[in-house]
Structure 1
Amino acid sequence: MPYTIAMVSDFFYPQPGGVESHIYQLSTKLIDRGHKVIIITHAYQGRTGIRYLTNGLKVYHVPFFVIYLQTTFPTVFSFFPMFRNIIIREQVEIVHGHASLSNFCHEAILHARTMGLRTVFTDHSLFGFADAASILTNKLLKFALSDVDHVICVSHTCKENTVLRASLDPLMVSVIPNAVVAENFRPLAKDEPIATPRQPSSGALSPQRPLPLETVTIVVISRLFYNKGIDLLIAAIPRLCAAYPYARFIIAGSGPKAIDLEQMIERNVLQDRVEMLGAIRHEEVRDVMVRGHIYLHPSLTEAFGTVIVEAASCGLYVVCTRVGGIPEVLPLHMTRFAKPEEDDIVAQAGSAIAAMRAGRIRTERFHEQVRMMYSWTDVAERTERVYDGIAGVLSEEEFYGCVEGEEVAGEVGGSSSVVRGRSGVANFALIDRLKRYYGCGVWAGKLFCICVVVDYLLYVVLEFIFPRANIDVVRDWPRKKAIDETDETEKLGEEKTWIT
């Protein structure tokens, strides 16, 4: 059954990143499967209004004020008039939000439920429970997900974290991992010169480089922030360079920790051993990775870690920290795990360097294995099943594994069981929505109920001032469709053709 889906998030291209790539790849595959997908994000420098990307993917760049790390200022209600206009123009049926730190995402879920639309949320991150920032984020997440139809997490660790943070019923949360376009992350081709990030290369796959290696190159591609373990990297690099004279480092990425990395290089006189490339585009990642032999990922927290899948697909051996959902991503023969501690990272990375130089680690088959494990087509199929479940196409038993109409324990918004609608989906009645929000806390619950009531009143006012009949419905992007089997060309036994 085809759906019209709106992907909503503060994070999208041209900003590089895992969430941005996930939204784009999932959207294009859903379009290939016959669905209509639009993307709603904020305006970036040089990108405002409506843009069309490959395969007819339409992007709405909404002009809202950005306050920090490409996140918009939380206005709650001012986004509603423009959001409603887009939803009606595009005849959207499902709103799919992404990322816990995206204000656009949370506001869109609230407004979509007010408009009577089905909603899905995908969580890409892990958060704690003790610091002030995490407490506020978790309370906001609980508010947004109190009335959501279904939640998707990118790993089982992420699911456990999200269920605890938002007090969700585990039946409402599915695990659908990220994927990688393996064709875009090939090992170095035979007789292919190693390209610079600005000069992409191509060619057929090559066998493993000749062994033993004279130089072992370690690649790091990451945002240079504290949570990515850059402090551990700064401490480990001088020790590894001193212990292994044949080790070299290539670091790509930007962030506040870039200055600390440069100071470390200057202090230890490692200019000829450590190369810093700065920020690179996503299409340049492969050209950087194939210059190395080992990929080092010292992150302190990670829900999935798409970059290590890309590294393995390029034929690199992965050394990473055993945190979050990382242990779920790759099989053991592709990875070496370390504790998120300086000494253990140095020990495991050093062991990998020595083994790689001696030829004890072979990575020739990594690309094919990764290609078989991860596919965006599979991700799209599983996401489509979630849409079928919340739309009522699948029965309660098929989707949730329980009998239709059965009370679901641990419902969001309170400790008591609440009977949900068909396929376990929360209904749209205002009184039932208020019951779910009221249980979010002694004071927060009352505040959330006020927000929902105001949002509903605003929706009534908008329906009166700007009637739906006055909003033009846009024409869909022309899609290819197969000629009916009863067509004359089929009767004549000719090969099936395609029309637009």
Structure 2
Amino acid sequence: MCAVDLHGKERVLLVCDFFCPGVGGVENHILQLGQCLSDLGHKAVILTHAYKNHTGICHTPEGLKVYYAPRRPVYQQATLPTVLGGFALLRGILISERISLVHAHAAFSPMAHEALLHARTMGLRTVFTDHSLMGFADVASILVNKALKFTLADVHQVICVSHTGKENTVLRACIPPGRVAVIPNAVRAEHFAPHLSPTGPDAHRTVVALSRLVHRKGIDLLAVVVPAMCRRRPDLRFVIGGDGPKAPLLWRMVEQHGLHERVTLLGEVAADEVPGVLARGRVFLNTSLTEAFCMALVEAAAAGLLVVSTRVGGVPEVLPPSMLLLADACPEALGAALEAALDRAPSIDRQSQHRQVAAMYSWPAVAARTERVYAATARDVRDDSPLGRLRRYVRCGRVFGLLACAVAAFDMMFLHWLEWWQPAYSIDLAPNY
């Protein structure tokens, strides 16, 4: 496989189930990272599954090449794990694009786990970014943690988006902390410049909430806080954006409490519409029950909003106290924090806050730090022979370690069959541009 070029530039394949046109922090992270890596002179290519109007090979407006693989999502944009089903397509892309490093994202992405396994089988260097926190007790967490332990046993470097996330990932995957770097998300601050005056006559009395409407985002909690705050403050308005399985809960809340004139449910909000939505208020509310790093908080702060959030995961690391009010994940505590934020919001210097956020978070800085992680993979001295890989997998546990070795060994045999079925010389190389 292709190595780093003479100028030390990588040819990186970014892999994840979650990407544009989907909306979310992971999707935005991959897009912005790919663009900034290209600006640094690296070649960045993205692999994800097909979306409704996005199939085959497409290019983003910024020029990034995206492979939308013919895989169907089964739950919240995550595809069904196939282990070997996507190997032939992935191998073709890796050879065609002359990829030197595979960077996969998100523990909930089956495509990411499979890409890392197959890339290691082909002898490529690998990096994984974990964007989420997971527990240890429920069935879903146990399954994801086992998959993560297997995948990260042979990965060169790991990135987490917060120090809390790093601690969580180290415990879940049983990997040395020295292999894990912390690189936070960032924001294109220029896209969130505060308006000279908030949009709409009620902006000073409006609270904005933007998130996926799923359980872990605390939508059940939001459905309790909103009517309680509306009873306390007759002039208060809420603007809520996002879509998901918890959307009917919010519809029922509006109907039951007669809040049609005071709560606006926007549904799914496109990425380019987010600044306009944030401009409609002066306070941003986040009710997440678990969060490694919440991009929405940074975007809201960059737009000049005072942020109220649950004190969970890596959220306390995201913003300083002057921009962020924290509360326990209960309606009473969140209500008190919202009251304090609404009283403080009119005195906030929104332009000054915007400049502070722009100085704290930038995608070029994230890309530069990620570039150093890529360089560390090239300096990683270890036994990458088939036997060396199996030794790492067998440490996953007495029973699970043997299963991991069996999967890795079968993947190696399948690669030999693919090399016979479709030799590398028969795969056309993609043109450089």
Q: Does 1:194 align with 2:183?
A: no
Residues 215 and 248 of structure 1 are in contact (CA less than 8 Å); yes or no, is this contact kept in structure 2? Answer: no
1:340-399 deviations in Å (ceiling 9; x for gaps) = 11110111111222333xx4444331111111110000000000001111112xxxxxxx
Aligned residue number for residue 36 of structure 2: 29
The 1:234–1:354 alpha-carbon spacing in structure 2 relative to 1, beyond 3 Å, is same
The equivalent residue for 1:325 is 314
Pick the aligned partner of 1:111 from 108, 118, 127. Answer: 118
Pick closer, same or farther for the CA change 1:293–1:173 going to 2, 3 Å: same
* 1:203-243 deviation line (CA, Å, top 9, x unaligned): xxxxxx9xxx8951000001111111111111111111111
Structure 2: which amino acid aligns with 1:308?
A: L
Q: Give me the whole-angstrom Cα distance separating, in 2, the residues matched to 1:353 and 1:56.
A: 42
346-355 vs 164-173, greater mean Cα deviation: 346-355
Is 2:177 the partner of 1:170? Answer: yes
TM-score using structure 2 length: 0.96
Residue 215 to residue 331, structure 1, CA distance change in 2 (3 Å) = closer
Cα distance in structure 2, aligned partners of 1:64 and 1:239: 44
- Corresponding residue number in structure 2 for 1:476: 432
Counterpart residue identity of residue 31, structure 2: Y
Aligned-partner Cα distance in 1 for 2:240–2:115: 37
Residues 1:227 and 2:232 aligned together:
no
Q: Partner residue of 1:239?
A: 228
1:64 Cα offset (Å): 1.4
Q: CA separation in 2, counterparts of 1:354 and 1:35?
A: 48
SS of residue matched to 1:276: strand
State yes or no: 1:147 paired with 2:148: no
CA distance in 2, matches of 1:214, 1:455: 57
Aligned position for 1:99: 106
Q: Check whether the contact 1:241–1:247 (CA below 8 A) recurs between aligned residues.
A: yes
Deviation of 1:438 after TM superposition, in Å, equals 1.0
2:249 to 236, 260, 279: 260
Instruction: Give the structure 2 partner of residue 202 of structure 1.
Output: none
Q: Which runs of 5+ in 1 are unaligned?
A: 196-208, 393-422, 478-500
CA contact under 8 A between 2:12 and 2:102: conserved in structure 1?
A: yes
Equivalent in the alignment of 2:280:
291
Question: Do residues 180 (structure 1) and 187 (structure 2) align?
Answer: yes
Mapped to 2, the partners of 1:170 and 1:292 lie a distance apart of: 41
SS of equivalent residue, structure 1 residue 168 = coil
Letter in 2 for 1:379: V
Structure 2 letter corresponding to 1:473: L
* Secondary structure at the counterpart of residue 22 of structure 2: coil
Distance in 1 of aligned mates of 2:56 and 2:133: 32
Q: 1:215 to 1:152 in 2, by over 3 A?
A: closer
Please say if 1:216 is aligned against 2:205. yes
Q: Name the TM-score, length of structure 1 as normaliser.
A: 0.83
* Structure 1 counterpart of 2:421: 465
Q: Across the two proteins, how many residue pairs are aligned to each other?
A: 426
State the alpha-carbon separation in 2 of the partners of residues 431 and 34 from structure 1. Answer: 35
- From 273, 289, 292, give the equivalent of 1:300: 289
Percent of aligned pairs with the same amino acid: 49
Please give the secondary structure, in 1, of the residue aligned with 2:351: coil
CA distance in 2, matches of 1:262, 1:474: 49
- 1: distance between equivalents of 2:414 and 2:428? 21
Tell me which residue corresponds to 1:198. Answer: none
Q: Aligned letter for 1:453?
A: A
SS at match of 2:45: strand
RMSD: 1.5
1:333 is paired with a residue whose SS is: coil
Taking the aligned partners of 1:77 and 1:119, their CA distance within structure 2 comes to 18
For 1:214 and 1:98, how far apart are their aligned partners in 2?
A: 37
One-letter amino acid of the structure 2 residue matched with residue 462 of structure 1: L
CA distance, structure 2, for counterparts of residue 14 and residue 462 of structure 1: 32
Residue 20 of structure 1 aligns to which amino acid in structure 2? E
Candidates 339, 348, 366, aligned match of 1:379: 366
Quick check: 1:7 aligned with 2:14?
A: yes
Secondary structure at 1:54 match in 2: coil
